[in-house]
Structure 1
């Protein structure tokens, strides 16, 4: 057991870094304490660094922007907390060299998280910092798995009473580092996850214990799939949405597209308008523009 006494604010800061893997000083401030001056967040991060729980790198050609990440010691401590159980990313990065190689994509994922967190705060919905869980492992058989960039939990509507609804989403952040066809292939992986039923050696399904899809052990309904597109101009976004539409057409015979909303939007629109605006394009009909919270499926 590690004997470091971490206060509530420090605890949230370390928990966010252990879960998100990295964030800039400004991103950390917006996640953990937007109501105070950013100098307080800087002092908090410096204190955690002095205790050996987090570290930082300075990004080149970014105005000496600092990106913070947890040390192995910090990840070990945070993983012992009840609120972090099952939330640790499948691939935690704690080495400065590895952080530099992954910083572009990971900071973009963190910026996407902030869009949802800040929009929820403005709207009176419920989405807490630890409701954004990067890289949750979902097996699909044959040693393969679906690992979304993030799993999002979001309560839409009043936090109490019978009028709120719990939304869940797999979020894929694409910075155009792969071709449109490889991006569209992710739809096939999610369709496999949707129908994957694990085989338990030596055990046959019965009426009392029928075989069920693996995802049903975690979720009452399959999470919707959200593609956030960045790294190109409008033409590049259209190319990728066209590829997603072609990928969706190949899956048309299955029930996946009928059962699961699959939406795409540029990161620029997400940041400028907020996730709840009608900026999302269903991949099967990208001429539409819908809010992600009202795309035909209510999850409870």
Structure 2
């Protein structure tokens, strides 16, 4: 075991510390993503690659190669090694993450999904930086589970698992600060639209879910909906579609809107839930405060990430 691999994050250069923290939280990133997130002013990732090489030589990070879609050029994808996870588990500034990325999972079927979820966060980061808002490299958390009913069924049946939960602070021209907390669902158009609509409907069940008596005894004031134990307000739901065909994206947006509007539970919660759908390309190009989100459940024109109801627009 090398002496470099035994270094604690606090003794590393600042960039290496941030690389470790980002990979610990976000699991898997390309060199390009790390560059845009951690050294956005640098034209080329020379310094970043040097630090990644040091971390790899010290046994703290690993890498795999993957082919970019529609190109012949390989890209490097970075993740923490077993030693890297052990190092971060012991770091005071880290919130312990149970998920462990391995070389096998890094090249597995979830690779593209993980990279695309992180692309959403990085797009938010880049636009926040341009607009003078606050959204940092650690301000989104992937795969957050929310219990939506009692029982002993499979974990996936008793929970809705958000692809990410993000906290974005909008800073107005008058200095007014507004925290926008949002659930994020990424859809690469690989599942049926009815399955996507079912997952949207699960958020409606989560909004209404009150733990049964045997669950309430474990939590103070838990006669309230379960989400109030975690969130002061029910977060917005942002659905981001990713597909190369504009025709597929348009059809999917329309079909999802029709299915969610036809759901009686969701329709009854139209005044309570804020749900919007956009595409990853629009988010990258225009940012979250352009009118890129089509609201579901409400009949209104596309709007921004605030997803304000028509009366307060």
SS in 1 for 2:214: coil
Q: Are 2:167 and 2:182, in contact at CA under 8 Å, matched by a contact in 1? A: yes
Deviation at 1:81, TM superposition (A): 3.2
Pick from 193, 196, 205 the counterpart of residue 180 of structure 1: 193
2:44 paired with 1:63: no
Q: Are 2:294 and 2:302, in contact at CA under 8 Å, matched by a contact in 1? A: yes
Q: Are 1:248 and 1:257, in contact at CA under 8 Å, matched by a contact in 2? A: no
Deviation at 1:234, TM superposition (A): 1.9
SS in 2 for 1:135: strand
Q: Are 1:156 and 1:293, in contact at CA under 8 Å, matched by a contact in 2? A: no
Pick from 168, 174, 181 the counterpart of residue 181 of structure 2: 168
Cα distance change on mapping 1:236 and 1:196 into 2, 3 Å: same
Partner of 1:216: 228
Partner of 2:48: 41
Partner of 2:277: 264
Query: 1-side partners of 2:215 and 2:121: how far apart?
Result: 42
Query: 2-side partners of 1:157 and 1:195: how far apart?
Result: 31
The superposition leaves residues 155-176 of structure 1 with CA deviations (integer Å, 9 ceiling, x where unpaired) of 0115996x11110011111111
Cα distance change on mapping 1:288 and 1:111 into 2, 3 Å: same
Query: 2-side partners of 1:97 and 1:200: how far apart?
Result: 42
Query: 2-side partners of 1:210 and 1:46: how far apart?
Result: 49
Q: Are 1:176 and 1:232, in contact at CA under 8 Å, matched by a contact in 2? A: no
**TM-score with structure 1 length normalisation?**
0.88
2:282 paired with 1:275: no
Cα distance change on mapping 1:287 and 1:221 into 2, 3 Å: closer
Query: 2-side partners of 1:190 and 1:202: how far apart?
Result: 20
Partner of 2:3: none
Pick from 3, 19, 24 the counterpart of residue 18 of structure 1: 24
Query: 2-side partners of 1:130 and 1:239: how far apart?
Result: 33
Partner of 1:115: 123
Deviation at 1:128, TM superposition (A): 0.8
Cα distance change on mapping 1:252 and 1:80 into 2, 3 Å: farther
The superposition leaves residues 140-185 of structure 1 with CA deviations (integer Å, 9 ceiling, x where unpaired) of 1234111111111000115996x11110011111111101111111
SS in 2 for 1:258: coil
Deviation at 1:17, TM superposition (A): 0.8
Query: 1-side partners of 2:79 and 2:299: how far apart?
Result: 37
2:29 paired with 1:29: no
Partner of 1:243: 255
Query: 2-side partners of 1:176 and 1:33: how far apart?
Result: 31
Bigger RCO (CA 8 Å, 6+ sep): 1
Q: Are 1:241 and 1:283, in contact at CA under 8 Å, matched by a contact in 2? A: no
Q: Which blocks of at least 5 consecutive residues in structure 1 are unaligned?
A: none
Q: Which blocks of at least 5 consecutive residues in structure 2 are unaligned?
A: 1-5
2:111 paired with 1:97: no
Deviation at 1:199, TM superposition (A): 2.5
